[in-house]
Amino acid sequence: MRVSHHQGGHMKIARVTGYPVKADVRCQFVVEVETDTGIIGLGEGGISGRELAMQGMLDHLSQQLIGADPSRIEHIWQQLYRGAYFEGGTILAAVVSAIDIALWDILGKNLGVPVWQLLGGAVRDRIPCFISPGKLSGPEIVDKAQAAIDEGWKVLRFGPGMLDFTWRETDGAVYDPLESLALSADMLREIRDAVGPQIALAIDFHHRLSPAEAAMFCQRVEPLGLYFVEEPIRGENPDAYAQLRTMTNVPLAIGEEFSSKWAFAPYIERGLTNFARLDVCNAGGLTESKKIAGMAEAHHIDVMPHNPLGPISTAASIHLAASVSNFAYLEYNPKHDRGRAVDLFPVAHELVGTSFPLPTEPGLGVTFNAEAAKDHPFEYWFPPRLKKADGSYTNW
């Protein structure tokens, strides 16, 4: 339905509300920005497990928003980011992301056009996705990979394997990097032998390796022609990735936890990543993501958005992907549409085959039922706490 634009002066922001809600295993942080004309924009903050921290930041930032013109999106972004003097931070960036996405949603609804139209128009007709069939923990993953291929998937990303690996949120599961990288390489080799050379295979180590361990793994799998190895080591220090780059030619995908274009800059400018795994709900919203994508485009690096949250994150990622030429694939989680909390998100984008169609509804094209939030109260959630065999803590 087309929403006519506001007559008789500028809209103003009248209300800003955060909803930390338990949507499935984890919580989601949904933000509503409402104007004095009744248009409500939706956004989502991406720091999972820190929803109350994001709510606290939203309480601060909302003081600057009431009465503002929601169409001045870049101006508001700069005001929110620079307004506290202290530079950046993941919580600030996530909440600015949520507000920014909501402002684009408002503008699209007010003008009666999908957000991608406001971002420069569509450069593609559909948004192709990749899927994650499971962990490389044993021969059964070969069957899961084949099942995904039978459904039409062409790009498969896996989690690292362990022979005896169970998630325990209190005392930690044991993760042995050397065992994991050996098993993961073996299972990827079996999958490649089974599915042939046409399917793109990838793995996400989720920061669990050191540069030496990552190099060992990459050297083992170089003959398999992997599409990418994602986040093998932590990203605080780009020099560590520079060291890894000298030891392997395997393509790398980095950046899902980065919270600004400045964090991405050394990885893009120094050729340390082959895919920018930007998260529109962490990196500063659509406004900042377009800038990161432009920086990547100048270096012939494709954007491959991180998308582990909910329908609002998926929608924002779809609109970004529709509007940037250097887009590869969007991360897809079946929970986002097939298993979503329908009472919270009555309308969401639905996958067709292995792609999302170009959205046609004004704004983001997603709805949120705030009344249902009371049925999904916030619960504290912590990621699995992994330890090595000697009892020391390691990355999840």
Contact by Cβ (8 Å): 23, 48: no
Closest residue by Cα to residue 343 from 47, 1, 22? 22
As separate numbers, helices (DSSP H) first and strands (DSSP E) second, the chain gives 11, 12
Q: Of 5, 6, 299, 306, which one is the catalytic site residue?
A: 306
> Look-up: residue for tokens 């406001």?
118
Count CB-CB contacts under 10 A for residue 246.
9
Paired with 35 in beta bridges are 13
Closest residue by Cα to residue 157 from 196, 204, 217? 204
Give every CB contact of residue 102 below 8 A, 6+ residues apart in sequence.
31, 32, 33, 41, 42, 43
Q: Is residue 361 classed as helix, strand or coil in its secondary structure?
A: coil
Nearest 5°: phi and psi at 262? -70, -35
Catalytic, 300? Answer: no
Rounded to 10 deg, the angle between the 261-269 and 285-298 helix axes is 10
Helix (H) or strand (E) holding 18: strand 13-22
Helix (H) or strand (E) holding 229: strand 228-230
Q: Of 5, 6, 206, 207, which one is the catalytic site residue?
A: 206
Give every CB contact of residue 257 below 8 A, 6+ residues apart in sequence.
90, 235, 279, 282
Residue 269 identity:
E
From residue 198, alpha-carbon distances to 76, 201, 226, 330 in Å are 46, 9, 11, 19
Nearest 5°: phi and psi at 17? -135, 135
Classify the C-alpha dihedral 338-341-346-347 as positive or negative: negative
CA distance 285 to 282: 7
Q: Which residues of 3-19 are buried (b: 16+ CB within 10 A; e: fewer)?
A: beebeeeebebbebebb
Classify the C-alpha dihedral 187-190-195-196 as positive or negative: positive
Catalytic, 306? Answer: yes
Residue 309 identity:
L
Q: Which residues are catalytic?
A: 206, 306
